[in-house]
Amino acid sequence: MDEIPMPAPVAERPRDARGYPVLAITPWSDGKPDFAVTSTARILVCAVERRCSICGTPLRKGPVWRVVAAEEAAAISVHDNAAYTNYANTAQTVEPPGHHACMLYAAIVCPYLARPTARRGNDALVPEAEFRRGEVHGSLDGMTGAVVAFDTYEFEAGETVRFRFSGLREFLPYTLGDEHLVALRDAIAAQPTAEPCPPWLLDDESSAERRAAGYA
């Protein structure tokens, strides 16, 4: 973990007791982050204010990024070059967008996203020995996911916030997230200095809820 470069706005995040940065969309209660869920209120605030779901700082003009799981990565990859940029994610998703560097970082460090044998809600790192590259080959071509850029997003808010992405720009598939370490270093080097994350996307849940209520 110490060898993985951390984007500056992620390094500024509030930390949990172990010292891990806590995402902008992770809710807090009693002074502790709950990594098992994401906060609809926080996701709504990020969507309306066009902020990164990981670091909470603004998304600038240009493409937005997200990490997609194996099935969606496979669906995107079957498009040939001509259709590539016309690919639109017609299915809605609850996964919100973020910065290039932040999404690469998430793909590398998040056990659920980075390891084919990992599962959401299991916050223990999967031991390297349990993973054998050959096991994941097959219909998904060895892909466990991809970091993908889209021109635009739209969203609808209800019980959850549902996103629709269009205008595929870049598609960076991986088997293990750490294949993107070089891309992460490049993205961090290219990342302009961000303004600080606002207080309503830090560790004060009532502030996040009030902000979301204003938009709902």
Q: What minimum distance in Å lies between the beta carbon of 55 and Zn ion?
A: 3
Tell me: does residue 104 bind Zn ion (CB under 5 A): no
Q: Does 99 bind Zn ion (CB under 5 A)?
A: yes
Which of residues 76 and 102 has its CB atom nearest to Zn ion in the complex? Answer: 102
CB of 101 to Zn ion, least distance (A): 7
Which residues lie closer than 8 Å to 130 by C-beta, 6 or more apart? Answer: 117
Cβ nearer to Zn ion, comparing 56 with 116: 56
**Please, what's the largest Cα pairwise distance for the chain?**
51
Q: Is 55 in the site for Zn ion (CB under 5 A)?
A: yes
CB of 194 to Zn ion, least distance (A): 7
CB-wise, 104 or 176, nearer to Zn ion?
104
Please report, for residues 14, 21, 22, 32, 33, the alpha-carbon distance to residue 18 in angstroms, rounded to integers and kept in the order given: 11, 9, 11, 11, 11
Distance CA 136, CA 74 (A): 13
What's the closest the beta carbon of residue 52 comes to Zn ion, in angstroms? 3
Tell me which residues touch Zn ion (CB under 5 A). Answer: 52, 54-55, 98-99, 102
